[in-house]
């Protein structure tokens, strides 16, 4: 009987144990109350705003997303991760953006936190229509991610 009990515990851990080890998505507080979440890491706060002061493409407005005090990752992991973004118009039709996003990453060795700032080109400065921008960062092993969606 004891062997049967131990075998059933081993069997259940082998098939269900990995799902218990996965962390669940955690909501991130944003300054404009846009939906944002992360998994495998913690983000203290996110500041999301429209930035028109960038001189790289002076005709474009950029969606600025600043994720501060990220713990549970390293500077190298953030730099080597994938940065993906999508832009949708007011009818939720995807718009292809040929420009690349701008990214700034810095880290503090004392507190082992990482700060990530991305700037995504999404419309012309003179355009007043609403656009939805979705951003996703994934670690190289795809276990950690940050996701944010903003409509401006």
User: Residue 109 maps to which CATH number?
Assistant: 2.60.40.10
Within a domain: 48: yes
Range of the domain at 42: 25-151
Question: Could you tell me the pLDDT band of residue 1, with boundaries at 50, 70 and 90?
Answer: very low
Within a domain: 15: no
Helices (H) and strands (E) in the chain, counts: 2, 10
pLDDT tens digits, 54-107: 887 788 899 999 999 999 999 999 999 999 999 999 999 999 998 899 999 999
Burial code (b: 16+ CB inside 10 Å, e: under 16) for 86-112 equals bbbeeeeeeeebeeebbeebebeeeee
Question: Could you tell me the pLDDT band of residue 9, with boundaries at 50, 70 and 90?
Answer: very low
Among candidate residues 106, 103, 70, 92, the one with its CA nearest the CA of residue 149: 92
pLDDT score for 48:
97
- The single-letter DSSP state of residue 25 is P
Between 5 and 28, the more confident residue is 28
Question: Could you tell me the pLDDT band of residue 111, with boundaries at 50, 70 and 90?
Answer: confident
For residue 130, pLDDT over 90 is answered with yes
DSSP structure string for 90-118: TT--EE---SPPEEEEEEETTTTEEEEEE
Within a domain: 5: no
Question: Could you tell me the pLDDT band of residue 5, with boundaries at 50, 70 and 90?
Answer: very low
pLDDT score for 22:
56
Within a domain: 69: yes
Cβ contact 42:70 at 8 Å = yes
Within a domain: 19: no
Within a domain: 14: no
Within a domain: 41: yes
Tally of domains in the chain = 1
pLDDT tens digits, 25-57: 999 999 999 999 999 999 999 999 999 998 877
Within a domain: 39: yes
Give the Cα separation of 72 and 113 in Å (integer). Answer: 8
pLDDT score for 23:
72
């Amino acid at each position: 009987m004891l062997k049967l009990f131990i075998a059933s515990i081993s069997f259940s851990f082998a098939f269900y144990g990995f799902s218990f080890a996965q962390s669940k998505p955690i909501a991130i507080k944003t300054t404009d109350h846009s939906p944002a979440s992360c998994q495998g890491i913690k983000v203290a706060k996110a500041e999301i705003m429209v930035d028109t002061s960038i001189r790289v493409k002076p005709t474009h407005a950029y969606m600025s997303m600043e994720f501060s005090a990220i713990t549970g990752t390293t500077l190298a992991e953030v730099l080597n991760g994938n940065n993906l973004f999508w832009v949708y118009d007011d009818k939720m039709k995807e718009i292809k953006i040929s420009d690349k996003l701008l990214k700034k990453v810095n880290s503090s060795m004392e507190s082992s936190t990482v700060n990530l700032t991305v700037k995504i080109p999404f419309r012309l400065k003179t355009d007043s229509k609403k656009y939805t921008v979705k951003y996703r960062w994934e670690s190289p092993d795809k276990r950690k991610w940050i996701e944010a969606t903003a409509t401006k």
